[in-house]
Amino acid sequence: MRELLYRHAIREALDEELARDDKVVVMGEEVAQYNGAYKVTEGLWDKWGSKRIVDTPISEAGFIGMGIGASMLGVRPVMELMFWSFHSVAFDQLVNNAACVRYMSGGLCNVPIVMRGPANGGTAVGATHSHCPEGLFAAFPGLKVCAPATPADAKGLMKTAIRDNDPVYIMENTLLYGTKGPVPDPADGDHLVPLGKADIKREGTDVSLIAHGRSVIRSLEAAETLQAEHGINCEVLDLRSIRPLDQQAILDTVMKTNRVVLVDESKPFSGVSATIATLIQEHAFDYLDAPVSRIGAPFSPVPFSPALESHYIPDSKSIVTGVRDVMARR
């Protein structure tokens, strides 16, 4: 199978959907003539022109509000946030408007909009540009949230999101844009990844690692180390979607291995891993041979110092340590 960079897989998804549906537009800061801050939209303005690839002012509240209004009239906008950390200046639009319109209209008005951009730390840009808000937005009914870890999932989830009639917020990662992986060829058919369907990235029998986004890659690295150096066979479950959440896949892997480590780059309090831990406690407690373990970021702003930040975000070493601790408990 051919391989694509993560950013190129997203671009291919956008290009295919722009060709498939003339109501699809891409909007955001520097997405057109500059080819996007991360070069995800490179070449799309040259191909599709200024009516389909639209540069916006530096005003998230303004252009996201415009995109939501357009989607209510039948347009399918894909809005790029240069950083998901800028969500706070458009919170009313993202939560009160996008999430509530279909419910408040009695189902008469849809909001088929996609919000996408990086939501991560690890790039030494400081606390104000390093938030991971996937758990926050997953808490609001009416929103769908996903965090692809691989190029194939980035493409498949993007195409599915664009076709969805509800708002879908896609949390990408700047440290994944340059990674490469297999992606099905368009000649072999439409590559769609369903929302709400987790994926087992590695089969295992001893302990389950459950993660999303870049934490999946770190978990896979840790799993190889644990197998080679400690004889521990880890199963790695990639959530892919935070909302809707594939609860059955989570329970199935826990019931299979009887031990679980939740890996989550975001803060531990009220985060994604907290929700999953509650789910396991309520529905799979009797299957556990050890308490649920969580590996996440400290409850503090993301440090600017690269030396400090390297210890702040969970890495494969911290995952190995966490898994060994769980395996030692009875």
pLDDT band at 268 (very low <50, low <70, confident <90, very high): confident
Mean pLDDT for 303-319 is 91
Known catalytic residues are 60, 129
pLDDT in tens, 201-217: 999 999 999 999 999 99
Task: From residue 325, give the alpha-carbon distance in Å to each of 131, 204, 259, 266, 289.
Answer: 28, 18, 11, 21, 13
pLDDT(40) > 90: yes
Which residues partner with 208 through β-bridges?
235, 260
Mean pLDDT for 316-321 is 96
For residue 192, which of 167, 143, 224, 159 has the smallest C-alpha distance?
Answer: 159
CB atoms closer than 10 angstroms to residue 273? 26
Helices vs. strands in the chain: H and E counts, helices first: 12, 14
CATH of domain 199-328: 3.40.50.920
3-188 against 199-328: fold identical: yes
Q: Where are the domains of the chain?
A: 3-188, 199-328
Task: From residue 291, give the alpha-carbon distance in Å to each of 100, 200, 245.
Answer: 37, 22, 22
CATH of domain 3-188: 3.40.50.970
Give the per-residue pLDDT at 125.
Answer: 92
pLDDT in tens, 63-81: 999 999 999 999 999 999 9
* CA atoms within 13 A of residue 296's CA, in its CB half-sphere: 23
Residue type at 280 in one-letter notation: I
